[in-house]
Chains A and B, each alone.
Chain A
């Protein structure tokens, strides 16, 4: 399955459990990530990536 992960905020140490969940969900799947918190996100590219993905998850 093609998964797209969107990150709106930079992961911190407090998100360690979330990281574990991300690893569980990622197992045996094709994963792409996009970090929206970095400067000048390319939203056109995000839309293309969403269309290409089977499932989109916004992590925190």
Chain B
């Protein structure tokens, strides 16, 4: 089976933990899982999340902190305390072009109902998500 490189782009703090789990998920399926946290300071890191990060790195993936999208406090926490790999927007651009699949993770649900041919045609309460 072919192995692909997945790049998860994570702009939304609410979904960081889920996105890191998905990054690890593709890695354990023998793909290359990479994540990039933009803008945000990570929430307090649990042992579970730490294990996920370490496991992702062990599986030849990585989780980046896009340092030029966040303030000093967020950068310091994400890189020095959590151990994310610092990366610039320029470098992230190269990583995106090298990836086979790019997944922008955890965007708010769309307000428009999906067409019937889509499997997921839930109706969304936009007041809660936007």
- Interface residue ranges, A against B (CB under 8 Å): 1, 8-9, 17-18, 20-21, 24-25, 27, 29, 36, 41, 43, 55-60
CB distance from B34 to the nearest CB of A (A): 14
Shortest Cβ-Cβ A-B pairs, 10 listed? A24-B93, A58-B104, A17-B69, A57-B102, A25-B93, A43-B115, A21-B89, A60-B107, A25-B96, A8-B110
Q: What DSSP secondary structure best describes chain A's contact surface?
A: mixed
Does B38 lie at the interface of the complex (its beta carbon under 8 Å from any beta carbon of A)?
yes
Q: Interface size on B (CB < 8 Å)? A: 20
Which B residues touch A18, using CB under 8 A? 11, 38
Which B residues touch A21, using CB under 8 A? 89, 92-93, 96
Give the distance in Å from the alpha carbon of A4 to the alpha carbon of B103 in the complex. 13
Which A residues touch B99, using CB under 8 A? 55
Does B119 lie at the interface of the complex (its beta carbon under 8 Å from any beta carbon of A)?
no
